[in-house]
Amino acid sequence: MIMFGLKRFTAIPYTWRYYLDAQIVTLAVIGALGATVWGLPKIRNAYLKFTGTKTGYLINQLVFVLLFIISVMFMVSSQYSPFIYFRY
């Protein structure tokens, strides 16, 4: 019936705007920059110089631990759980 125009199609049109909101675009840009910028020699040398000291190494490790904790917090608070099949 819908194919011949006798009945109206009432489904929600999922366009690219439904999936690409400002948060997704921002995170994609940050991810792309983070994946490619570290390869630049000046930034890599500055990073190695910073982490070469004990204080820099400690700060580096603390940042990684904080990122891990924040990512776990986001996973726990989201509606989708990757651990859904452990209940069975």
φ/ψ of 63, rounded to 5, equals: -65, -40
- Tell me the percentage of the chain whose pLDDT exceeds 70: 84
Helix (H) or strand (E) holding 53: none
Supply the pLDDT for residue 86: 63
Supply the pLDDT for residue 18: 78
Query: By C-alpha distance, which of 47, 30, 27, 25 is closest to 38?
Result: 47
Helix (H) or strand (E) holding 5: none
List, for residues 1-39, the tens digit of each pLDDT value. Answer: 777 778 877 777 777 777 888 999 999 998 888 888 766
pTM of the predicted structure, to 2 decimals: 0.50
Query: By C-alpha distance, which of 20, 27, 22 is closest to 70?
Result: 27
Supply the pLDDT for residue 84: 65
Supply the pLDDT for residue 28: 92
Supply the pLDDT for residue 83: 65
